[in-house]
Amino acid sequence: MTQDVRSFAVTVDGGKLSVRTYGDPSKPTVLLIHGYPDTQAVWDGVVSELVDDFHVVTYDTRGIGASKGPLFKHGYTLERLADDLYAVADVVAPGLPVHLVGHDWGSVQAWEAVTRADSAERFLSYTSISGPCLDHAALWTRSGLRKPTPKAAVRSLKQALASWYIVAFHLPVAPRVVWRLGLAKQWPRIVKAIEGTSVETSATLSRDGSRGVLYYRANMLPKLRHPQERSTSVPVQVLTPTRDRFVTPALATQAPAPWTERLYVRQVSGGHWIVVKKAALIAERVKEFVLSDIVTPGGPEPVRSLLRAEARQGTKDRREFEDKLVVVTGAGSGIGRATALAFAEQGADIVVADIDAVAAARTVELVELLGARAYLYTVDVASAEAMERFAEDVRTAAGVPDVVVNNAGIGMSGPFLATEVKDWERILGVNVWGVIHGARCFGEMMRERGEGGHIVNLASAAAYTPSRTLSAYSTSKAAVLMLSECLRAEFSRYGIGVSAICPGFIATNITRTTKFVGQSAEQQERTRQRITGLYRRRNFGPEKVADRIVAAVRSDKPVVPVALEAKAGRAIARLSPALARRMAKIDPTG
Ligand code: NAD
């Protein structure tokens, strides 16, 4: 980090603010506002990441850290806090607009500042993290109460529960006494326990915690009682941490929508103190936003997730997966093709991947007929190198996917002793390694990007239904099911959901390509025809599986048995394994 740090005080009405500036003042200024009960030190990690490209400024807000402020709550209204913010901006960047970034209460203050009438002259952009505009929040809550739907009630209840501490802060005397008596000492331990993040304690924490209560008392009730309609034309990026315990994504993203001309909402995987724990990620998001042509004319086109957030704004009839990127392997036929089309219908861009180039090209045509964008790739999912190359190509051409459907798979049936090593290698290669490669390559990208995502793996009812004729296929699918459950547990911390789909007997091409080991070519052909006829008569199309896959992503379902036989199989496996064992001896192909 460039060691060009300056510290000085800015005198404001009723206080003196301790300000620090970093880096070259001729570069664009980024002004970072800290939250409660932090000081400007909370930004240290972000400052280090930004200082090579920007003139970075932090300050302790009034009454906090090294800044001085009044003793009573009327000195802490948002109006005064926003005045302070303008005063600092005027000193550090006289006559030049700045980029604002606010966290927690810093975000609340910055909202107040960017929704002033003259804000477009002072601010080039605003990135808000975990702190709503109090007026927007109050209006959003009221609109929920006016049209009380069950969804709105749940969303308001969740936010109310997350805001319990605000009520506590209004109790007379108690919160200030608690801070003074020992909460400050315990604070790092508390944050570590709820967030898994270590925060530095400042020497002033006990005073700051207690003084900061005045921020709440001066503003919460007045804003709740008399919210104003505050708008802004400054481009706003709202970053919503996936595990924020204090501000729900619903509040952070829905409340500002009617009041912002250009709103961009992006998920970031992490907790409330993400500015400490993932400073580099936050700095990267700020950079991407302020350098893009949304904010800086002539800058690069915004990344995909910024586009998506813009499309989301204010449009009620927006399709659910608008501007999302969905990768489907084995998309040339059956469930894969139907899934590609189902996501395309919901507005997603689709990466169509298959080992069969002609079949994949046909799916691309169909996706494009639905008005969606499609990317065509020929890839063998069983090959580690091919999958790594494929994933990199996708990232370069289309970006990091939001959803990956590891669907490619093959069938195999027949006695275990007739199943040769090369048969095992083939089925495990496609059905198991294919899923592993897909989850590894794209999972790593999703984790790195830090905006969450979803991985869908095509398992099968065979994963939990033993059968004397399906040892190889069932083994491969049981592995997929267990892999999915393990990944789900591991990836949830990155905001990545994982679902395993267990379809049942679905009429697709799989019955025509399944290998029946131990049979001659003619016998195999006859068996294929018979099984294909059975599946056709069962009459359960891949579109229904595709709909369930879309629903699984929407509501983050862990395991989805689709057709009746898949549900019944799961029930039997759970309730009566003995019955399942008896049924396993039946040969459905015989
Ligand atoms: P399908 O044969 O109609 O489609 C499978 C697609 O995967 C084909 O386009 C094929 O070219 C492609 N593929 C095969 N090997 C590949 C490879 N190595 N690399 C890339 N692509 C490859 O089959 P389907 O029924 O749509 O099956 C899709 C998935 O659903 C499979 O994993 C299958 O095991 C699973 N499944 C199907 C059923 C069913 O009854 N159809 C039931 C349970 C599970």
What is the CATH number for 414?
A: 3.40.50.720
Cα 324 to ligand 1 centroid, rounded to whole Å: 24
Domain with residue 108: its CATH number is 3.40.50.1820
Residue 319 forms part of a structural domain: no
User: Are residues 389 and 273 both part of a single domain?
Assistant: no
**pLDDT average, residue stretch 90-115:** 97
User: Are residues 57 and 94 both part of a single domain?
Assistant: yes
Confidence of residue 315 (pLDDT cuts 50, 70, 90): very low
Domain termination site, one of 256, 277, 312: 312
Give the pair of three-digit tokens for residue 533: 């006829």
Q: Mapping DSSP to helix (H, G, I), strand (E, B) and coil, where does residue 177 land?
A: helix
Residue 565 forms part of a structural domain: yes
The chain-wide mean pLDDT, for the chain, equals: 91
Cα 454 to ligand 1 centroid, rounded to whole Å: 20
Which of 330, 321, 339, 408 has its CA nearest to residue 562? Answer: 339
Cα 423 to ligand 1 centroid, rounded to whole Å: 16
The closest-lying atom of ligand 1 relative to the alpha carbon of residue 429 is 18
Domain termination site, one of 287, 312, 337: 312
User: Are residues 307 and 329 both part of a single domain?
Assistant: no
Residue 317 forms part of a structural domain: no
Residue 188 forms part of a structural domain: yes
What's the rounded Cα separation, in Å, for the pair 205 and 473? 60
Residue 318 forms part of a structural domain: no
Which of 212, 209, 216, 215 has its CA nearest to residue 180? Answer: 209
Residue 426 forms part of a structural domain: yes
> What's the 3-state SS for 453-491?
EEEEEECCHHHCCCCCCCHHHHHHHHHHHHHHHHHHHHH
Residues with CB under 6 A from ligand 1: 329-330, 332-336, 354-356, 359, 379-382, 407-410, 430, 458, 460, 503, 505-506, 508-510, 513, 542
User: Are residues 51 and 158 both part of a single domain?
Assistant: yes
Confidence (pLDDT) at 304: 73
Residue 520 forms part of a structural domain: yes
Confidence (pLDDT) at 34: 97
Number of domains in the chain: 2
What's the rounded Cα separation, in Å, for the pair 451 and 267? 5
In this predicted model, what pLDDT tens digit does every residue of 242-289 receive, in sequence order?
888 777 777 888 899 899 999 998 888 888 899 999 999 999 999 999
User: Are residues 139 and 205 both part of a single domain?
Assistant: yes
- Give the range with max mean pLDDT: 368-372, 396-400, 478-482: 478-482
User: Are residues 299 and 335 both part of a single domain?
Assistant: no
Is residue 314 predicted with pLDDT exceeding 50? no
The closest-lying atom of ligand 1 relative to the alpha carbon of residue 381 is 19
User: Are residues 174 and 289 both part of a single domain?
Assistant: yes
Of residues 146 and 229, the one with the higher pLDDT is 229
User: Are residues 200 and 339 both part of a single domain?
Assistant: no
Domain termination site, one of 291, 312, 333: 312
Hey, whose CA ends up nearest to atom 36 of ligand 1? Answer: 460
Cα 335 to ligand 1 centroid, rounded to whole Å: 7
The closest-lying atom of ligand 1 relative to the alpha carbon of residue 431 is 32
Confidence (pLDDT) at 194: 78
Confidence of residue 489 (pLDDT cuts 50, 70, 90): very high
User: Are residues 379 and 518 both part of a single domain?
Assistant: yes
Is residue 440 predicted with pLDDT exceeding 60? yes
Length of the chain: 590
Give catalytic residue positions. 473
Full residue range of the structural domain in which residue 509 is found = 325-584
Q: How many helices (H) and strands (E) does the chain have?
A: 25, 17
User: Are residues 295 and 338 both part of a single domain?
Assistant: no
Which of 363, 317, 358, 316 has its CA nearest to residue 344? Answer: 363
What's the rounded Cα separation, in Å, for the pair 242 and 455? 17
| Mutation choice for ligand 1 from 328, 333, 364, 436, CB with most ligand atoms inside 8 A | 333
Is residue 435 predicted with pLDDT exceeding 90? yes
Residue 590 forms part of a structural domain: no
**pLDDT average, residue stretch 217-221:** 90
**pLDDT average, residue stretch 79-103:** 97
Alpha helices of 346-494 — where are they, by DSSP H?
Answer: 357-369, 384-398, 421-427, 434-449, 471-491
Question: Which pTM does this prediction carry?
Answer: 0.77
User: Are residues 55 and 85 both part of a single domain?
Assistant: yes
User: Are residues 79 and 184 both part of a single domain?
Assistant: yes
Is residue 544 predicted with pLDDT exceeding 50? yes
| Mutation choice for ligand 1 from 362, 480, 510, 549, CB with most ligand atoms inside 8 A | 510
